[in-house]
Amino acid sequence: MPKNRRTSRGKSRISSNFSAQHLLINKQLSKDMIDMAKITPNDTVIDIGAGKGAITFPLAKRAARVIAVENDPVFAEKLLDKMQGVANIRMNRQDFLQFNLPKSPFSVVANIPFSITTPILGKLLDDPAVPLQRAVLIMEKGAAKRFTSVRITNPRILKWRMWFDLRLVRTVSPDHFSPPPKVESAIVTIFRKQSPLVPLQAHARFMALATYILQQPQAPVFAALQGVFTPSQIKHVVKALRLERNQAVSSLNEQQWGQLFHSMLQYVDPSRWPKVPKKKMPKIPRAKAPKMPKPKMPKPKMPKISKPRMLKKPKQKK
């Protein structure tokens, strides 16, 4: 559910990514989204930005457990009131980006906040070990088109699509929301691939390769692969993947990226592989030793030394 920015005068300033709170009001659309997600009576499902519960309560009729995440205190309070007597809904009043995802398989059906669309997808998809199975999300149409574009120019989006199928399935008109936004929205479905081409433990290595090759997404394949593959290896790769020598590297599909990655592992000397960035470990502050009071040493008393008396010279007789 998109949030709003306020100007210094207190008025809402609406933009495509920071629109006002647009609550889903079309009940049929909520039902359609749940159908798209193929929710079963055994599923755990998260509703991100639950609002007044337009998706939360229909989900509760289909799923085993529903987790409603809502950061707005007003909507959270209303949800809690409406939840009375509904045993399979759990309310979490917090920012979804701070929310701890389930460690067991789960799905997501939500009308997500437009202002944090990419961070939300990053939280769900950056680490393929996160047990997300399916997701059906309403988001801004521009973002939906970017995530599902045939040409892949962003290594992060490419990595998501190596483990998940992302599809823009439907445009949603503004009249499905209250108040209606000034931009079109879209429904994106996300389904985990049954047989991903890259093994789970190699996702960081794949990301390193994708980041290196997609530095210039419009570069021809032959030029983009230099630095990792030797000229003779590039010839074999281009032939095996049925590519044109001058074809833009951003035009490779997920299948071709998977083959390219395995070719690197099999034929390229490891010294030429793009380096995987090291994870930054949090700094552990050193425990400061307690300050010990300095012992007061008594000052030694020095004996007083009396000054020697000067002898007076005897007076001479005249």
| Number of alpha carbons in the 13 Å side-chain half-sphere of residue 67 | 17
Contacts with 19 (C-beta within 8 Å, 6 or more apart), sequence order:
2, 4, 114, 181, 182, 183
pLDDT value at residue 313: 56
Residue 52 DSSP label:
T
3-state secondary structure the chain: CCCCEECCCCCEECCCCCCCCCEECCHHHHHHHHHHCCCCCCCEEEEECCCCCCCHHHHHCCCCEEEEECCCHHHHHHHHHHCCCCCCEEEECCCHHHCCCCCCCEEEEEECCHHHHHHHHHHHHCCCCCCEEEEEEEEEHHHHHHHHCCCCCCHHHHHHHHHEEEEEEEEECHHHEECCCCCCEEEEEEEECCCCCCCHHHHHHHHHHHHHHCCCCCCEHHHHHECCECHHHHHHHHHHCCCCCCCEHHHCCHHHHHHHHHHHHHHCCHHHCCCCCCCCCCCCCCCCCCCCCCCCCCCCCCCCCCCCCCCCCCCCCC
pLDDT value at residue 181: 86
Mean pLDDT across 191-205: 96
Average pLDDT of every residue of the chain: 88
pLDDT value at residue 304: 61
The torsion angles phi and psi of 92, rounded to 5 degrees, stand at -125, 110
pLDDT value at residue 155: 98
pLDDT value at residue 179: 87
pLDDT value at residue 156: 98
pLDDT value at residue 100: 97
Angle between helices 141-148 and 155-163 (to 10 degrees): 70
pTM: predicted TM-score of the whole model, two decimal places: 0.82
pLDDT value at residue 227: 94
Mean pLDDT across 192-214: 97
Mean pLDDT across 123-147: 97
**Is a pLDDT exceeding 90 seen at residue 124?**
yes
**Is a pLDDT exceeding 70 seen at residue 310?**
no
**Is a pLDDT exceeding 70 seen at residue 291?**
no
**Is a pLDDT exceeding 50 seen at residue 96?**
yes
pLDDT per position as a tens digit, 62-87: 999 999 999 999 999 999 999 998 99
pLDDT per position as a tens digit, 1-51: 444 433 333 333 333 333 346 899 999 999 999 999 999 999 999 999 999
pLDDT per position as a tens digit, 242-287: 999 899 999 999 999 999 999 999 999 999 999 998 876 555 555 5
